[in-house]
Structure 1
Amino acid sequence: SNSSSAATDARARGGEMKVSVKTLKGSKFEIEVNPADKVSDVKKLIESSQGQNVYPADQQMLIYQGTVLKDETTLEENKVVENNFLVIMLRQNKGSSSAAPSKSKEPSNQV
């Protein structure tokens, strides 16, 4: 099969690559990213694909090979390559409930 050469072509064009994201609970999901994507963009992508209530971008920490990735760096700078995996963790915001979004001041429907 020529899938490997196709992947190389895509990378040469700055195309998409699949990266696995592992959670601390042991589950795993895949995202399609670009090597030129900033870590902050990847966090937004995860937030939109997995749900803001699950992985709010401002609480995500992405770890690659034991290093916490900085928002302003790109995947390429961190040497993230196709089929490698990131580990995602959530920083706990001050306040016990992670269900309530931190941005909105409106009271929730809970009694």
Structure 2
Amino acid sequence: MYAPVPTEITLHRQSKILEIAFDDGRRYRLPCEFLRVYSPSAEVRGHGPGQEVLQFGKENVTITEILPVGSYAIRPVFSDGHDSGIYTWEYLYELGIRQQELWDEYLRKLEQAGQSRQD
């Protein structure tokens, strides 16, 4: 099964966007906040279904550094200190494809929990 790989990864610090171009021609602009609240780390996802931890107050979070993980992933360091999420190329591609759906789901969960994007 073919998994697209990035040909370019650009962090736009001022707009807080991580732009990723893939070798199939697709390009995604993923906000730092979106990447932070959908971190693949155990801290966010838990260790199994139903253990997810809703992230809130992340509206102004930025990425301060991007560390490579082999030739298959990156590990962003976020301004709130979170640095344990390993974002594989496959996961980043999925986030790009499903960005609107996932963002809408996140906003619904925030509202249901009575939480806010603001810190």
Structure exhibiting the larger radius of gyration computed from Cα positions? 1
Higher strand share: 2
Higher helix share: 2
**TM-score normalized by the length of structure 2:** 0.27
**TM-score normalized by the length of structure 1:** 0.28
